[in-house]
Chain A
């Protein structure tokens, strides 16, 4: 088993954990945390493919991940702000109870 495969497995595991969290947790904050985990699994994939790729001397993967983390931070901020706004409206952060937006 090459080390790339190990990284990818870790990354897949991480993604699966994040997905499971996002799908099962009822608190909106924990759902957001699950989403962060999945994002980081993707970041890990970037790093791994860069590290074991044909041009490890170019810092493309690293730079990409740094951007991605910055964007994820902004996304987390927006997500949290949305959660606060929804909480003010609905007096709850339980996503299974916030069901007004339906057809």
Chain B
């Protein structure tokens, strides 16, 4: 079988070409634009599956590198790589992307800018594929930025709404902060290793030679160089994946259309940060002894983010915002998994999360679509009867997210993380944070499902607080006729629900296929033949459950999940609120905590009061300096030059010109004098000659007489 490696570039190229074509289409060519986008995605999916199958057969990493531009005496190399991590990410992105593209046809059916939407989506898909196939940190950064751009464009897709425009700006600027760190990390890494290729037959920056030289590099201000670089790169991941200090943009990003939230802000782009950490894992885990500092930072950031975002999600009322905080929390889990357990555990949660979170977002989109754009869960209610398919798939997604025991993917992926955290040698803190986060996750998902699907239809709020509901009050209207969404939207839901369940079995303690696959071990799994699985250490081995504390841990996490579900049911399911204005059950018990959570723990306010105020004052100061100081200097130079010019001009005018003019006047005056002699009267000339004759004669006479 010829290697697919050499046509791997087609996977990002196809959507990119389609984006270019779609950009030129006219507005009413809706079918063509959607068809092109979906077609390109389908072909990309096919290629991705081919690549995946190839890595199944031959998990050795293959790279294609090429020279790009000359930079001093060196060449900058770009390239792409095919390895299990790339392949699994490609398949996930293409598959989820394809389903979301199809779903978008239904969701965006009434939008006037349908073609523009698909143009942006295709561009996003192209860049996202680029991020995962690249073998060069530089190319990754470029695609990374394009992904950020499309995220900006799609959050602000309904740019005529000021909130959406502001959210787009916020997302763009906040992620830029992280990207600055990433860029610095890239530059530093280049200066240290002289290459930005990940793998280059032994010469890449993630390979042994470069890593050894990094280990030997000097420390800067007490921090080893490799740790500093790893942390700077992690900054980019923090921004993109909405980790704690920079998470504020992700909830606001929900102003974009729901398929965008599902694709970009749940399944793929926000996971790019996790992917980045997984990709540069050799650098992250670089340490002369013990656990690398960078990994400790990753793990703690992830754990704190997981609990922090989950607690905020408890008190939100916007259906998409709850999911957004849930996404942040789950991304925290992925980081935690990477930090404590390694690539396989983090990426496994990434893949599982991509499916069930996309499912949840698309389900939320289906709810919003069926209920005249209503997003406030207090105004919804009792949708179980009106939207049975949406309810069923949403429930599956919710259970997968909570990590309901045994049959849902979220259980296995989260359990792997918790298990790794439990066994972490540095601290047990992340483990307990993770457990608490799991409890909160189960709680807020139950709350949401109870609010939206259970109980009865509620009278809507007359007016919601403007801060908490981004929609204009005029749009909050009575939901007359909730209806199930068209089949083009429900079929993707069903497919995603199916995968939310089965994906879990790819990586259970009994059969850790995923980890072996990612590690590029001998995964002789010819599709369908089970006997091949017994090769090497991949046997289905239930005895592994007996490993150190695994079963009690599983039991504990199951207990916590069930406890969270039960708690949620006790608060919200038992007696669903009747009117939308009724206070939240938690609000009655602990109003102050609830209000703090509802205001997102005042992080935005904190940033407003500190960073944004600082930036604003800096801007004022710069403005003042610009007007007074720099402008004054410029004005002084200008005056000096003007003065010199004026002096020059007057010198020219009064000295040089005057002298010359005087000379001219003299010449012309004498000319005029002489020209008076030549007056044209012939007899005058003759007279002169006669006079001269007389004088001459007199002179002669006088001389001869003397």
Interface residues of A (CB under 8 A from B): 19, 22-24, 31, 95-96, 98-103
Contact = CB atoms under 8 A, between A and B. Distances in A.
Contacts of B679: 99, 102-103
B687 A95 contact: no
Contacts of A31: 682-683
A95 B675 contact: no
Interface in B664-704: 671, 674-683, 686-687, 690
Contact of B678 (A19, A24, A96, A102): A102
B682 A23 contact: no
Given A23-B683, A103-B674, 13 more contacts: A22-B683, A23-B687, A95-B681, A95-B682, A96-B683, A98-B680, A98-B682, A99-B681, A100-B680, A101-B680, A102-B678, A102-B679, A103-B671
B690 A23 contact: yes
Contact of B683 (A95, A100, A101, A103): A95
Nearest to B690: A19
Contacts of A96: 681, 683
21 contacts: A23-B683, A23-B686, A23-B687, A23-B690, A31-B682, A95-B682, A95-B683, A96-B681, A96-B683, A98-B682, A99-B680, A101-B680, A102-B675, A102-B679, A102-B680, A103-B671, A103-B674, A103-B676, A103-B677, A103-B678, A103-B679
Nearest to B675: A103
A98 to B, nearest CB: 7
Contacts of A23: 683, 686-687, 690
Contacts of B682: 31, 95, 98
Nearest to A26: B683
A102 B674 CA distance: 11
Nearest to A25: B683
A24 B678 CA distance: 19
A22 B681 CA distance: 13
Contacts, number: 33
Task: Place the interface of chain B in its size category.
Answer: 10 to 19
A100 to B, nearest CB: 6
B686 A22 contact: yes
Contacts of A101: 680
Point out which of B671, B674, B679, B686 has the most chain A C-beta atoms below 10 A from its C-beta: B686
A102 B671 CA distance: 12
A101 B676 CA distance: 12
Contacts of A98: 680, 682
B357 to A, nearest CB: 105
A22 B690 CA distance: 10
A24 B681 CA distance: 12
A33 B26 CA distance: 104
Contacts of A22: 683, 686
Nearest to A34: B686
A99 B676 CA distance: 12
A100 B679 CA distance: 8
Which 9 pairs between the two chains have the least Cβ-Cβ distance?
Answer: A103-B675, A102-B680, A99-B680, A103-B678, A102-B679, A101-B680, A95-B682, A102-B678, A99-B681
Nearest to B672: A103
A95 B686 CA distance: 12
A68 B171 CA distance: 118
Nearest to B682: A95
B679 to A, nearest CB: 5
Interface string B494-538: 000000000000000000000000000000000000000000000
B677 to A, nearest CB: 7
Point out which of B675, B678, B682, B687 has the most chain A C-beta atoms below 10 A from its C-beta: B682
Contacts of A103: 671, 674-679
A19 B690 CA distance: 8
A99 B675 CA distance: 13
A56 B690 CA distance: 32
A23 B683 CA distance: 6
Contacts of B678: 102-103
Contacts of B671: 103
A103 B684 CA distance: 14
A19 B679 CA distance: 20
A12 to B, nearest CB: 10
A26 to B, nearest CB: 8
A28 to B, nearest CB: 8
Nearest to B673: A103
